[in-house]
Structure 1
Amino acid sequence: MPGAVLVGLLAVPGLAQARGATSVPPASGSGLAQRCPLLAGMRFAPTDGGRPVQIMAAQVVPQSAAGQGAQGEAQPALPAYCKVSGVIDPRKGADGRAYGIRFEVNLPLAWNGRFLLQGGGGLNGSVRPAVGGAAAGAVPALARGFAVASHDSGHQGAVFDASFRTDQRATLDFAQAAVPAVAQLGKAIATRFYGRAPAHSYMAGCSTGGRETMLAMERYPALFDGLVIGAPAMRTGFSNLGTTYAKVMFNQAAPRDGQGLPLPDKAFSAADRQTIRAGLLAQCDGLDGRADGMIMAVAQCHFRPAALQCHAGKQDGCLSAPQVEALDRAFAGPRDAAGRALYAPVPYDTGMVDTSGPVSGYIADGRTDILGPPNRDLSIDLDARAAAIRADWMQALTDTDGWTDLSSFLGHQGKVLFYHGVSDPWFSALDTLDYWKRAGKTNGAAWAQSSRFYMVPGMAHCQGGDAFDRFDLLGAVVDWVERGEAPAAVVATRSQGIAARPLCPWPGYARYNGGDPDRAESYSCAEAPVAGAAAAAGG
């Protein structure tokens, strides 16, 4: 596993390390393997509201080595574990379809006494393997000895299939009810299997999983001791409005077809995208002490697209006035007729021009992707759109951006770490940062003593991009909860190779001090540029 040693063991002064220390003596032995299939015949108490529980299968999965999955994805090495599958409240819905909260609980035969609920993604609809990989570096929670649970949030379907919303119960399960139901049941199954309750409970997730983890913090504050929240889908109505608005702005700068409609794929050519990236790096790359194609000093980067505007007609190497205006407006975010922000600004970062993934960077490339065909609108009624979002009862139920009173969660010494990729094309990292700051104002010193926020330069939505996107915040929150060790920087690596950087808590950033640029020890966390320092040349 490339980078595993750096992520898990690298000893750098001031950097938190991933640790596998157990909170209680491990529960293990052949007796657990023999007990596993018996779980299928056991009865468990109904969840809240009297919803029945059905265990469908329980079997031992043998230890496995690292390898590749069916789609070529990396598969981590996993220990032997008891895999329990089941469903909460199986029933036929109002639309005649089968519903129920399907779940998976994986119980390692060598248990470290901890429980983790794994967050979902998109609109869920399937039970993802319960391994606990979110923000866990190279070693997922199951491989560390956690009991891990996952679920489909109460319906089956494709990742963005919203047809379940015709059923009231399924809608409520997706919005919030599945999280406490599966958490409580997962702990009960672990307690029955091991003969003792988990010593500590955690939850981690990104995107929808981040929203679910925020939901647990806000509405079920006693469920977990530690949380890791990544790029939360905390107000999708307005984040979608932000991306739609940006596409309309880009369309206004695009050439037209014979019917007068914009050609979104021609708003910015490949040469224009290279010009934007080069201009951004020229203005911001050296602020972190090293010109290496990455912008680590996010807060200090104040990119001015106007500096790239052509002086004598459009040509390669510069941008037209409409292109500059489109960038300014799109990244500033939408505002209503009274000038009030409807969504957060989006930070300029290198991934904004990317076209290599299944979804383009924030500067849309006009192709059909997993979200559908390209937008070809030339105008947008922001006030009407905002009013419709505010009137949507589903948004009111699922959104988690408003509630900041976390006194109960913090009162039982709960700890929470946030992270967000700066190049996320769906949700603005500045919106998540705004929530984190507002929570700080509401909760005061207790928040400062219990939470950290990490910007991940170059990272797209939850992972990927030209970024150091492999880092162990799960280990960091465990150490904070169980040892009282507040996290500083954590070591981050790329998915391939051995290069490492410190991932610094906000408002810090990794500043290059000299030495081997691929070693984390060559950087330190700083909060402002060093006066008079010249950017070092680098690759």
Structure 2
Amino acid sequence: MKTHFAIPVALAGVLGLAGCGSDDSSDAASVTKLACGEITTAALGITGLTVTATETVAAGTVTPSGADSALPQHCRVTGSIDPHTSPVDGKAYAIGFELRLPTDWNGRFMFQGGGGTDGVVNPAYGNILGGGPTTNALTRGFAVASTDGGHTTESAPIVGGSLFGLDPQARVDYGYNAVGRTTEIAKAVIRRFYGADAGHSYFLGCSNGGRQALVAATRFADRFDGIVAGNPGFNLPKAAVQHAWDVQAFSSVAPLDTDGKPIIASAFSNDDLNLVAAKIVEKCDALDGLADGMVNRFESCKGVFDPAELACAGDKTATCLSREQVVVLNKVFDGPRDGSGKQLYSDWPWDAGIGAGGWRVWKLGSSTTSVPNAIIATLGGGSLPYVFTTPPTRVTGDGTNVVDYLRGFSFDIDAPKIYATDLTYTTAAMTFMTPPNPSDLSKFKGHGGKLIVYHGGSDPVFSYNDTRNWYAALAAANSGDASGFARLFAVPGMNHCSGGPATDKFDMLAAIVDWVEGGKAPDSIAASARAANTAAAAFPTRTRPLCAWPKVAVYKGSGDVEAAASFSCQ
């Protein structure tokens, strides 16, 4: 059954109204409408835009993976924006995009955030975020846009997604400009297709899409009314420095192959990580008043859990960690530092999701050779030399070249390069990748914008603590309380965007719409466990409230321990 959100004003009013705080013109009603097949480069006449294809997609012909229903009838538009040839690598670049325009439109626009290093135009269905969503924004009647970030992933092994970092403009497009230009073009096409501007505009994204979301809240504050940023890597170049830190730490305790190179995935076995997770649960689970396998007060676990308790008294066995492994765990969770002891990124919370597959796949991988497949050593290993440091370092993806680069990364000499510029690369990575002033959302707040940020406590890629510290700074910049326009939600146990021993299924789209259009600020957001999430197999029917920081879900003392109704945010 198709679901619609109630539009709080008469439809005629919406269709004649520019989005709240948007930079759209107010004369949309006077434009000549274009049918789907009439949306062409010439008909739109927008500088820098090439429409490559349009098609009317019949209702019921496309069912996204995991969705419980097929997509409605809609117009699909693809194109490119601002093509250029790189003066550095001689390659052609442009901002690729897709826009899907439902026939039964609800008067809203959503920008769908990207992921990783982008490089591909993902179908603009409008992911509502959380694990295992069965619906999307397009099905709910939103017009939805997505972009490839201004480049196309190349076929080179490991580094193919990062080679665009050789081009100065492609870097900036990836950092923020592709979002700004795609939003501008999408809104112009919406106006011509529907003969009206969107009544409200939203941005939803997780991971790099969460970073894009927080960047949009600062650089494009007047173009969005509601923004959801999930597990945001808003300090992504700093997090990439952590990747090198982790690789070096894990390499120090990994067994060596016949060439003397570390097999990183074997630094910690699955049993080792499960041992750590079990001890975290033992020590910290009941801090929220109930021992239920989830550490709701995971922020309080530091100082309660000490991995030294797991150290073997003698030789390494299946029931303990070597003393060297304990040192490495503490080093990884303390975060990267330079030779003087200065912290270069963030520390990390202890949470139960360290034993889940979503933690291993990022941090350690499963490779049985010295050529790692951990995502920090592949995705991170390519982006750090090519995109996040200046000047770029040309590293091939053959053999162990990328991991060798990470193992040789200097935290005194190389880490400062995320702030560096030169005559060719005039914008530093920490400038084009991050919000200009992360704690200053005065422009977004000023036009009535609302922001929801959520982050998994067991995220192995971007530290929850970094996001919490950002939110504390945001609150401080707003007389100690930013909750009137921005709220942070921790997801205990959740890995990167989903997974882990967590209630990781939730509907952030409904929550942000309710806040923007209904004035209902979310004190809590309903979340549930998923049968498909094996890390949550011990509680397959569990529901919990996700609580607005600094509150956490606490058991009321009676009632079904698997039901959200038995918990309150305290």
TM-score class, shorter: 0.7 to 0.9
Residue of structure 2 equivalent to 1:85: 78
- 1:218 Cα offset (Å): 1.3
Q: How do 1:98-177 and structure 2 match up within 5 A?
A: 98-135=92-129, 137-157=133-153, 161-177=161-177
Higher deviation after alignment, 58-67 or 232-241: 58-67
From 51, 57, 63, the equivalent of 2:59 is: 63
Residue of structure 2 equivalent to 1:503: 546
With the length of structure 2 as denominator, give the TM-score of the two structures: 0.80
Q: How do 1:353-502 and structure 2 match up within 5 A?
A: 353-354=355-356, 356=357, 360=361, 362=363, 368-369=372-373, 370=375, 371-372=377-378, 375=403, 381-391=410-420, 393-400=427-434, 403=437, 404-444=439-479, 447-496=482-531, 498-502=541-545
Separation of aligned partners in 2, 1:169 and 1:385: 22
- 1:237 Cα offset (Å): 2.4
Separation of aligned partners in 1, 2:144 and 2:454: 21
- 1:186 Cα offset (Å): 1.1
Separation of aligned partners in 1, 2:81 and 2:147: 10
Residue of structure 1 equivalent to 2:201: 201
Structure 1 residues 303-324: Cα deviation after superposition (integer angstroms, max 9, x where no partner): 2111222234432212222221
Aligned identity (percent) is: 38
- 1:380 Cα offset (Å): 6.0
- 1:109 Cα offset (Å): 1.3
Residue of structure 2 equivalent to 1:224: 224
Structure 1 residues 437-472: Cα deviation after superposition (integer angstroms, max 9, x where no partner): 112222336723110011112222222333222211
Separation of aligned partners in 2, 1:361 and 1:510: 28
Separation of aligned partners in 2, 1:524 and 1:286: 15
- 1:494 Cα offset (Å): 2.9
Equivalent residues of 1:353, 1:362 under 8 A apart: no
Residue of structure 2 equivalent to 1:326: 328
Task: Mark the CA change 1:90 to 1:254 in structure 2 (over 3 Å): closer, same or farther.
Answer: closer
Structure 1 residues 172-196: Cα deviation after superposition (integer angstroms, max 9, x where no partner): 3222221121112111111221121
Q: Alignment partner of 1:342: what SS?
A: coil
Separation of aligned partners in 2, 1:437 and 1:98: 42
Q: Alignment partner of 1:291: what SS?
A: coil
Separation of aligned partners in 2, 1:165 and 1:380: 18
Separation of aligned partners in 2, 1:247 and 1:93: 32
Task: Mark the CA change 1:512 to 1:471 in structure 2 (over 3 Å): closer, same or farther.
Answer: same
Q: How do 1:168-187 and structure 2 match up within 5 A?
A: 168-187=168-187
- 1:243 Cα offset (Å): 2.7
Separation of aligned partners in 2, 1:196 and 1:288: 50
Question: Quick one: which amino acid aligns to residue 431 of structure 2?
Answer: L
Structure 1 residues 25-51: Cα deviation after superposition (integer angstroms, max 9, x where no partner): 5699xxx999322223762253xxxx4
Equivalent residues of 1:24, 1:199 under 8 A apart: no
Separation of aligned partners in 2, 1:260 and 1:124: 35
Task: Mark the CA change 1:242 to 1:75 in structure 2 (over 3 Å): closer, same or farther.
Answer: farther
Structure 1 residues 134-166: Cα deviation after superposition (integer angstroms, max 9, x where no partner): 427543211211111111122222596122233
Structure 1 residues 84-113: Cα deviation after superposition (integer angstroms, max 9, x where no partner): 222223455444544322211111111111
From 304, 311, 327, the equivalent of 1:309 is: 311
Task: Mark the CA change 1:243 to 1:364 in structure 2 (over 3 Å): closer, same or farther.
Answer: farther
Question: Quick one: which amino acid aligns to residue 469 of structure 2?
Answer: D
Equivalent residues of 1:353, 1:360 under 8 A apart: no
Equivalent residues of 1:252, 1:378 under 8 A apart: no
Structure 1 residues 53-91: Cα deviation after superposition (integer angstroms, max 9, x where no partner): 22233222122288564xxx5575322212122222345
Residue of structure 2 equivalent to 1:12: none
Residue of structure 2 equivalent to 1:531: none
Equivalent residues of 2:528, 2:542 under 8 A apart: yes
With the length of structure 1 as denominator, give the TM-score of the two structures: 0.84
Question: Quick one: which amino acid aligns to residue 334 of structure 1?
Answer: P
Separation of aligned partners in 1, 2:94 and 2:259: 48
Higher deviation after alignment, 401-410 or 418-427: 401-410
Question: Quick one: which amino acid aligns to residue 466 of structure 1?
Answer: P
Q: Alignment partner of 1:339: what SS?
A: coil
Equivalent residues of 2:67, 2:134 under 8 A apart: no
Q: Alignment partner of 1:141: what SS?
A: coil
Equivalent residues of 1:406, 1:443 under 8 A apart: no
Separation of aligned partners in 1, 2:64 and 2:192: 33
- 1:389 Cα offset (Å): 2.4
From 18, 21, 43, the equivalent of 2:6 is: 21
Q: Alignment partner of 1:144: what SS?
A: coil
Instruction: Give the unaligned 5+ runs of structure 1.
Output: 9-18, 527-539
Task: Mark the CA change 1:346 to 1:172 in structure 2 (over 3 Å): closer, same or farther.
Answer: same
Higher deviation after alignment, 222-231 or 437-446: 437-446
Task: Mark the CA change 1:266 to 1:203 in structure 2 (over 3 Å): closer, same or farther.
Answer: closer
Equivalent residues of 1:253, 1:322 under 8 A apart: yes
Separation of aligned partners in 2, 1:395 and 1:407: 24
Question: Quick one: which amino acid aligns to residue 542 of structure 2?
Answer: A
Q: How do 1:41-60 and structure 2 match up within 5 A?
A: 43-46=43-46, 51-60=47-56
Q: Alignment partner of 2:203: what SS?
A: strand
- 1:363 Cα offset (Å): 5.8
Q: Alignment partner of 1:481: what SS?
A: helix
Equivalent residues of 1:88, 1:100 under 8 A apart: yes
